[in-house]
Amino acid sequence: MSDFEPKIMTFLCNWCSYAGADLAGVSRIQYPPNTRVIRVPCSGRVDPLFILKCLQDGYDGVLVSGCHPGDCHYISGNYVARRKFAVLKKALEFMGMEPDRVQFSWVSAGEGEKFSQVISKVTETVKALGPAKKLVKRIGR
């Protein structure tokens, strides 16, 4: 499984985590190239359906990252999101989905280093899990 390169979808809020990702780049901090990015205005924009859709489409991992509590550009979007994500994560874990496939983080605009660490960690853990099987849509089944 060592040559397995996971494909990971990330949803980054425009004001903090996307900016943190930019800062990682500006600081030339290196991290694994396995993530793809969807920029959203706020982590509160992320409907659990987006995450499930990613899993169905065969992404090996999904990360949603927003502003730290209290930093939300839209005052409280991340707080509402936090509740939704807590429930979704627990539900998937309960069903037997590998908990590390769906991750959430807070990364601020100043945390380029943290962003790279988060991405590295998600990539490593997903790599260790191997290719996603659960929930992946297969034609003919």
User: Under the criterion CB under 8 A, does residue 118 sit at the interface with other proteins?
Assistant: yes
* Residues 47-106 contacting other proteins, CB under 8 A: 47-50, 52-54, 56-59, 67-71, 73-77, 79-98, 103-106
Note whether 58 and 132 are within 8 A (CB): yes
Smallest distance, other proteins to C-beta of residue 83, A:
5
| Alpha-carbon gap, residue 44 to 18, rounded angstroms | 14
Angle at the Cα of 34 (from 20 to 126), degrees rounded to 5?
A: 100
Angle at the Cα of 65 (from 64 to 69), degrees rounded to 5?
A: 125
User: Under the criterion CB under 8 A, does residue 126 sit at the interface with other proteins?
Assistant: no
> Radius of gyration over alpha carbons of the chain, in Å?
15
Smallest distance, other proteins to C-beta of residue 134, A:
6
Smallest distance, other proteins to C-beta of residue 4, A:
13
User: Under the criterion CB under 8 A, does residue 36 sit at the interface with other proteins?
Assistant: yes
Among 6, 61, 101, 109, binds other proteins (CB under 8 A): 109
